[in-house]
Structures are given as structure tokens and as C-alpha cells.
Amino acid sequence: AQTVTQSQPEMSVQEAETVTLSCTYDTSESDYYLFWYKQPPSRQMILVIRQEAYKQQNATENRFSVNFQKAAKSFSLKISDSQLGDAAMYFCAWCRNTGTASKLTFGTGTRLQVTL
């Protein structure tokens, strides 16, 4: 079974600094997608960034970027210029590209605190 591991239950970063959240996954599949979702105190699940496994180029979305290492099965999220609004739970998720169904497998999450 596919598993997603987030080894950092909690992280803290100062405002305007950079922080990296770790995620590793275990799969024998070669065609899949990876996601980072943010869950603020409102409990809404918000997509942060998405990476297709077949793409070598790392995805970026404004202040958010990933370091995707396919051979190492690693998918870390870098948040630059951290803002107070970035404080949330961050979930890494994996999805197999079956062509028919696309269920997400989530990690256990990393709680990010942003301090002044």
C-alpha cells in the first residue's frame, strides 16, 4: 500500500523567513501526482501546490515551491517570506494516475507556526 510520511509534527518559522516542510512517500508506481494542501484553523482544505511525477521541473506557486526528488521519493515544500497567514496544518498527499480514479493518500500533517 502507498504511504505518505511527514516526519515533522510541528515546525516554527519567523515572519519573512524561509521554512521547508518534509514529505516522503512509498510507492512502486511510476505515474503519480503529489500535492500539498493547507488547512488553516477554519479547517478548510486549500490546495497549495501540485507536482506531476513525470515532470522533472519543480513546481512553484508564488512564495511556495517544491523540491521533488523522484528517486529518493521525497517531496518537500519550501515557503519563502513566511507570513502570519501561512500558519496552518500542511498535508502532503499522493495520488496514483490510474486514468479512472484519483483518490488522495494523505500524510499525518505538519503544524506550522509563524512568529513575529
Partner 1 sequence: DSGVTQTPKHLITATGQRVTLRCSPRSGDLSVYWYQQSLDQGLQFLIQYYNGEERAKGNILERFSAQQFPDLHSELNLSSLELGDSALYFCASSPRSLVETQYFGPGTRLLVL
- b/e map of 55-87 (b: 16 or more CB within 10 Å)? eeeebeeeebbbebeeeebebbbbbeebeeebb
Q: Which CB atom, from 82 or from 109, has the smaller least distance to partner 1? A: 109
Q: Restricting to residues 46-75, which ones interact with partner 1 according to CB under 8 A? A: 46-47, 50
Least distance to partner 1 from the beta carbon of 9, Å? 12
Query: What is the three-class DSSP state of 85?
Result: helix
Sign of CA dihedral 93, 83, 20, 22: negative
Window of 22-30, 42-50, 60-68, 79-87 that interacts with partner 1 by CB under 8 A: 42-50
Determine the interface stretch with partner 1 among 13-21, 58-66, 79-87, 106-114 (rule: CB under 8 A).
Answer: 106-114
Q: Is the dihedral of CA 17, 18, 22, 23 positive or negative?
A: positive
81 vs 69: CA distance, rounded Å: 23
Q: How far is the CB of 115 from partner 1 (least distance, A)?
A: 26
Q: Which stretch binds partner 1 (CB under 8 A): 21-29, 65-73, 77-85, 93-101?
A: 93-101
**Residues lying near partner 1 in the complex (CB under 8 A):** 32-33, 35, 37, 42-47, 50, 91, 95-109
